[in-house]
């Protein structure tokens, strides 16, 4: 289990896993050897609502940074997620086919979206926010919205 | 003297302003008004929340089928808190996952997908109603 930064706004508790980096839109990326695993942040999944369907681009798809990697349909919205890394999708989380709610229940572990072979992780890494910066950004955003 | 016929109580979500809440209520209307008017009756969740005696009495002698619009499952929780027996609980999202082609949109007025989803949900509910009224019962 990853460690978390955590804050509470109103009745909601938001967690930011500290072992990965984030796009400003709330997609996380975590390097695992030569591959990079990606998924939705807890903040993004809670704001988006219960997931009805998760359609991730299939294995073998080549993506540039911020290309659409998945479309998530929730009870509130349809959201297009941009890839935090450029590269090739090697594996899609098979659990999402039958249990897309894993994104809501376990966004940082069981609810991952895809595993990619990055073209140049260091270049993409430089574009992404570290956990503390992402944490500060969403905390401010959440507090602003409750005012 | 004949005993009054038992009617299954249908309790939809009261989520006004939410598409899935509207689907749940529309499904309830389809069951009670169109498909099984003789075997079912509708209870308003808002009245149960208010502690309405007539609504609680309705639940006291009849099994209930709840239709929840979100994971908070207010309808199911409220029926149980009111002393009712939930024979079956439905969640609109779970039903939608089985009928992806019926994408619900709209709130005050559902789109065609929402109406079709409500109809599909109503037909699943009717299956449970028939199971109960045939004497086979349901689950709590």
**Token duo for residue A147:** 């005012």
Is B71 part of the contact surface with chain A (CB cutoff 8 Å)?
yes
Q: Which residues of A touch B70 (CB under 8 A)?
A: 50, 75
CATH of the domain at B32: 3.40.50
Higher pLDDT: A70 or B136? It is: A70
Outline where A1-147 has alpha helix (H).
42-48, 95-98, 102-105, 121-125, 131-146
Domain membership of residue B138 (yes or no) is no
The answer to whether the CB atoms of A75 and B19 lie below 8 A apart is: yes
Cβ-Cβ contacts under 8 Å, A50 against chain B: 70-71, 93
Shortest distance between the Cα of A118 and any Cα of chain B, in A, equals 32
Which chain B residue is nearest to residue A51, measuring alpha carbons? B93
Inform me whether the C-beta atom of residue B5 falls under 8 Å from chain A C-beta atoms. no
**What number of other Cβ atoms are within 10 A of residue A82's Cβ?**
16
Q: Which residue has the higher pLDDT, A11 or B100?
A: B100
Full residue range of the structural domain in which residue A71 is found = 4-146
Q: With contacts defined as CB-CB under 8 Å, which chain B residues touch A75?
A: 18-20, 70, 93
Alpha helices in A24-77 (DSSP H): 42-48
* A32-49 residues labelled b (16+ CB within 10 A) or e (exposed): eeebbbbbbbbbbbbbbb
pLDDT of residue B37: 97
Q: Is residue B38 part of a domain?
A: yes
Q: Point out the least confidently predicted range of A21-25, A38-42, A93-97, B104-108.
A: B104-108
Digit-coded pLDDT (tens) for A78-92: 999 999 999 999 999
pLDDT of amino acid A147: 77
Residues of chain A positioned with their CB less than 8 A from the CB of B20: 75
User: Which residues of chain A neighbour B71 with C-beta distances below 8 Å?
Assistant: 50
DSSP secondary structure of B66-119: EEESSTT-HHHHHHHHTT-EEEEEEEHHHHHHH-TT-----SSS--HHHHHHHH
Across A95-109, average pLDDT: 96
What's the CATH code of the domain at A61? 2.40.50.100
How much of chain A exceeds pLDDT 70, in percent? Answer: 100
* Inter-chain residue contact A75 with B20, CB threshold 8 Å: yes
CA distance A61 to B132: 50
Residue B133 lies in a domain: no
Q: Distance (Å, rounded) from C-alpha B79 to C-alpha A28? A: 40
- Distance, in Å, from the CA atom of A109 to the CA atom of A30, rounded to the nearest integer, reads 11
Nearest beta carbon to residue A52 from set B18, B71, B93: B93
- pLDDT value for B140: 45
CA A71 to chain centre: 12
Phi-psi region of B83 (alpha: psi -120 to 50; beta: other; left: phi over 0): left
Distance from CA of B113 to the nearest CA of A (A): 14
Lowest model confidence (mean pLDDT) among A49-53, A139-143, B16-20, B113-117? B16-20
Nearest residue, CB atoms, B100 vs list A50, A53, A75: A53
Q: What is the pLDDT of residue B4?
A: 66
Facing residues of A54 across strands? Answer: A72
Per the structure block, which two tokens stand in for B82?
A: 């009111």
The verdict on a CB contact (< 8 Å) between B97 and A52 is yes
Do the domain assignments include residue B12? yes
Q: Is the pLDDT of residue A2 over 60?
A: yes
Write out chain B's pLDDT in tens, 140 residues. Answer: 556 678 999 999 988 888 999 999 999 999 999 999 999 999 999 999 999 999 999 999 899 999 999 888 999 999 999 999 999 999 999 999 999 999 999 988 999 999 999 999 999 999 999 999 998 665 54
Residue A103 has pLDDT above 70, yes or no: yes
**pLDDT higher than threshold 50 for residue A55:** yes
Q: Does residue A63 carry a pLDDT above 50?
A: yes
Interface test with B, best of A75, A102, A105 (most B CBs within 10 A): A75
Tell me, yes or no, whether B68 lies in a domain: yes
Residue A64: pLDDT over 90: yes
Structural domains of chain B, count: 1
Residue of A nearest to B19 (CA): A75
Whether complex ipTM tops 0.85 = no
Reduce the DSSP state of residue A88 to 3 states and report it.
Answer: strand
Say how many CB pairs under 8 Å bridge A and B: 14
Structural domain boundaries enclosing B73: 8-128
| Count of the separate structural domains present in chain A | 1
């Amino acid at each position: 289990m990853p460690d978390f930064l955590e804050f509470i706004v109103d009745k909601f508790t938001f967690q930011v896993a500290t072992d990965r980096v984030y796009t400003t839109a709330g997609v996380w990326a975590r390097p695992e050897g030569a591959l990079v695993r990606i998924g939705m942040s807890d903040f993004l999944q809670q704001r988006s609502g219960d997931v009805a369907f998760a359609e991730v681009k299939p294995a073998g798809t080549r993506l540039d940074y911020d290309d659409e990697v998945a479309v998530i349909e929730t009870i509130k919205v349809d959201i297009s997620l941009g890839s935090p890394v450029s590269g090739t999708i090697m594996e899609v989380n098979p659990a999402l086919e039958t249990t897309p709610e894993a994104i809501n229940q376990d966004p940082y572990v069981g609810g991952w979206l895809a595993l990619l072979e990055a073209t140049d992780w260091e270049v993409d890494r430089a574009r992404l926010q570290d956990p503390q910066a992402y944490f500060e950004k969403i905390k401010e955003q959440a507090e602003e919205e409750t005012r | 003297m004949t005993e009054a016929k038992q009617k299954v109580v249908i309790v939809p979500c009261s989520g006004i302003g939410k598409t899935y809440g509207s689907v749940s209520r529309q499904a309830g209307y389809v069951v009670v008004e169109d498909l099984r008017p003789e075997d079912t009756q509708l209870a308003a969740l808002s009245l149960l929340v208010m502690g309405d005696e007539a609504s609680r009495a309705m639940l006291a002698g009849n099994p209930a089928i709840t239709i929840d619009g979100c994971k908070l499952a207010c309808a199911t929780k409220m029926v149980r808190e009111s002393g009712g027996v939930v024979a079956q609980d439905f969640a609109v999202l779970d039903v939608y996952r089985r009928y992806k082609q019926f994408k619900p949109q709209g709130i005050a007025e559902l789109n065609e997908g929402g109406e079709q989803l409500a109809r599909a949900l109503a037909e699943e509910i009717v299956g449970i109603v028939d199971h109960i009224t045939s004497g086979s019962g349901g689950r709590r």
